[in-house]
Chain A
Amino acid sequence: MSSTVQRPTWKIWAEGAIVPIVLITIWQLIVAMGWVNPKILPSPLAVVERWWQYLLPMEAYDPATMSRFKWIFSGEMLGDAAGSLYRVIVGFAIGTALALPLGLAMGAMPRVLRLMSPLMQVLRPIPPIAYIPLSILWFGLGNPPAVFLIVIGAFFPVLMNTIAGVLHVDGIYLRAARNLGASRMTIFRRVILPAATPYILAGMRIGIGTSFIVVIVSEMIAVNNGLGFRILEAREYFWSDKIIAGMLTIGLIGLAIDIVMNKTNNHLLRWHRGLEQ
């Protein structure tokens, strides 16, 4: 990317670790000096210890009740993470499945755009959080209201980017395809769709980010597991170390999702000029 010699990977990592290490050291010192109440701000070591505890299985291994493999994954955190991820994946998948065809139709057919655009413009600025009361009224408690909120959260970013992607297809590609004798259907499938992919994938990336925010909020209201539920529960018991441990897990999972999305993007868009290194 730049003309300077590529830095070795370990150096990049070491450099990136400096600021966190300094901050954590200061944090540890503040707590160790007794300047704050550890109930309000636990020490980083306490958080890590709690995080580890949260990760491990809660009961001793007993071959009579379950296999060893199942036991390893029986910890509270993994159960919570699985619950949250399940909601994100289902909600995001439904939201995308609704937004993608609608966005393609709105982008490709001016008539559909004229029909649907005013409604979408009014609904779009309503934050998913504002749907919480309605979601409980409609779907009660449990997964359905949470998934509903995530669907809303994922829907609009994917929709808006899909429309923009189709509308921004360079006319020269359409002309080249028509010149080669392509039918409207072929042009849609082989030209418009791939040309809009960078926009669509960017929308999906924003959409999954929104889904992840919404899942945490939705778990604070309607369900009794998941990472969002767990940190709210920890507050009720004044377990501030567990709150932070839960937040840390949320951050790590968010990072993992983003890395996966990024890798997928780079693979699907390997033809794209913006990715030249």
Chain B
Amino acid sequence: MTAAAIDIVGVQKRFETPGRDVVALKDIDLHIATGEFVCLLGPSGCGKSTLLNAIAGFSPPSAGTITVDGKPVKGPGPDRGMVFQEYALFPWMTVEANVGFGLEIKGMAKAERQERIASLLAMLGLSDFADRFPKDLSGGMRQRVAIARVLAIDSPILLMDEPFGALDALTRRSLQDELIKIWSQFRKTIVFVTHSIEESIYLADRIVVMTYRPGTVKRDIRVTMERPRDSSAPLFNELKREIGELVTAEQQRHEAAERVSLTTD
């Protein structure tokens, strides 16, 4: 299995906090096709990470169902490899051990494991860092290791939670290109959360713009431009303006809501 489809039907997520309930997700219906690259885009508080965590199985929806290739999601698992914004590498393991950890859990024999680790490290330009600890690496390098770690377990689905959000612009672009290369090669299904409009247009087949609280699907946009995409092309900029307006409207609702809560609290 190299990729899988995700079906999200009638998903709702409610967080109960003392005093008030927050509806983070409401009436989400999404079909993500096998091998599709989807970006979830929206301002903070739109529930995009909540949706990703629900798909990952970390936090089940309050209502509705999420299925992967027809099987309901019951909890986290290696069929949906996750890349976190904070890298989440195990600092006590070397780069090699981090990448191999998922394979070790699977019970893969050592020789086979080492071969696989070596080829992944080579692919991501990490071969010289195999025996280093994460603390010795830059942010970009750490995120490469995190990507290698999920590629190692060969998950049909990659879930990425603002993976490049903490990186500088140049590192970010080079990792975006790397990700596209990997995706073209392995054709995995990717769900990628971001709040960068440009990033979503640069990467995705499809951009799902979400509304601010409650999080719903505001617009589902297909991007058909050829890759590699030119971020200065007219079509790119037109799309950027169109999506920019959608996102700005939600950002303004977000800010207005914050002002209200500041004055009432």
List chain A positions with a Cβ less than 8 A from chain B: 172-173, 175-183, 186, 190-191, 194-195, 197, 270-273, 276
- The answer, yes or no, to whether B42 is at the interface (CB within 8 Å) is no
Rounded to whole angstroms, the CA-CA distance of A181 and B106 in the bound complex is 8
Q: What are 20 pairs between A and B in contact, CB < 8 Å? A: A172-B84, A175-B84, A177-B101, A178-B76, A179-B56, A179-B77, A179-B80, A180-B78, A180-B101, A180-B102, A180-B105, A180-B149, A180-B153, A182-B101, A186-B105, A191-B90, A194-B90, A197-B92, A270-B133, A272-B135
Also in contact, A179 and B81, with CB within 8 A (given A271-B92, A271-B135, A276-B135):
yes
Residues of B within 8 A of A176 (CB): 82, 84, 88-90
Q: Is the CB of A273 within 8 A of B101?
A: no
Q: Is B27 positioned at the interface, with any CB of A under 8 Å from its CB?
A: no
A190 and B76 form a contact (CB under 8 A) = no
Q: Which of B58-95 contact A (CB under 8 A)?
A: 58, 75-78, 80-82, 84, 86, 88-93
Contact indicator A175/B76 (Cβ below 8 Å): yes
Instruction: A172 to B83: give the CA distance in the assembly, Å.
Output: 11
CA distance A273 to B89 in the complex (A): 13
Whole-angstrom distance between the alpha carbons of A40 and B106 in the complex?
72
Binding site secondary structure of chain B: loop
Question: A172 contacts which of B56, B78, B86, B102 (Cβ < 8 Å)?
Answer: B86
Kindly state the separation between the CA atoms of A178 and B153 in the bound complex, as whole angstroms.
Answer: 13
Question: How many whole Å from A185's CB to the nearest CB in chain B?
Answer: 11
In the complex, A186→B77 CA distance in Å? 14
Closest 6 pairs (CB-CB, A-B): A181-B78, A180-B102, A176-B88, A194-B92, A271-B133, A178-B76
Chain B: residues with CB nearer than 8 A to chain A? 56, 58, 75-78, 80-82, 84, 86, 88-93, 101-102, 105-106, 133-135, 149, 153
8 more A-B contacts (CB under 8 A) besides A176-B89, A178-B76, A182-B101? A177-B90, A179-B80, A180-B81, A181-B78, A182-B105, A194-B90, A271-B92, A271-B93
Residues A179 and B78 in contact, CB atoms below 8 Å apart: yes
B90 contacts A179, C-beta separation under 8 Å? no
A180 vs B108: C-alpha distance when bound (angstroms): 13
B4 smallest CB distance to A (angstroms): 16
Q: How far is the CB of B106 from chain A (nearest CB, A)?
A: 7
Q: How far is the CA of A172 from the CA of B134 in the complex (A)?
A: 15
Chain A residue with the shortest CB-CB distance to B146: A176
Also in contact, A190 and B101, with CB within 8 A (given A175-B58, A271-B135, A273-B135): yes
Q: Is A181 a contact partner of B102 (Cβ separation < 8 A)?
A: yes
Give Cα A209–Cα B76 distance, bound, in whole angstroms.
44
Given the complex, which residues of B lie within 8 Å of A175, measured CB to CB? Answer: 58, 76, 82, 84, 88
Name the A residues within 8 Å of B90 (CB-CB).
Answer: 173, 176-177, 190-191, 194
B88–chain A nearest beta-carbon distance, Å = 4
Write out the residue numbers on chain B whose beta carbons fall within 8 Å of the beta carbon of A173.
Answer: 88, 90
Interface-centre pick from A172, A178, A180 (highest chain B CB count, 10 A): A180
How many Å from the CB of A200 to the closest CB on chain B?
13
Determine the residue in chain A with the shortest Cβ distance to B149. Answer: A180
> Which residues of the other chain, A, contact B133 by a CB distance below 8 angstroms?
270-271
Q: In whole angstroms, what is the CA distance A178 to B82 when docked? A: 10
Complex Cα distance, B92 from A41, in Å, reads: 52
CB neighbours (8 Å) of B135 from chain A are 271-273, 276
Write out the residue numbers on chain A whose beta carbons fall within 8 Å of the beta carbon of B78.
Answer: 179-181
Q: B106 — nearest CB in chain A belongs to which residue? A: A181
Alpha-carbon distance A175/B105, docked complex (angstroms): 15
Nearest B residue to A178, CB-CB = B76
Nearest residue (CB) in A for B97 is A190
Give the chain A neighbours of B102 by CB distance below 8 A.
180-181
The CA-CA distance from A98 to B88 in the complex, in Å, is 32
Contact B101 A179 (CB under 8 A): no
**Residues of the A chain whose Cβ atoms lie less than 8 Å from the Cβ of B134:** 271
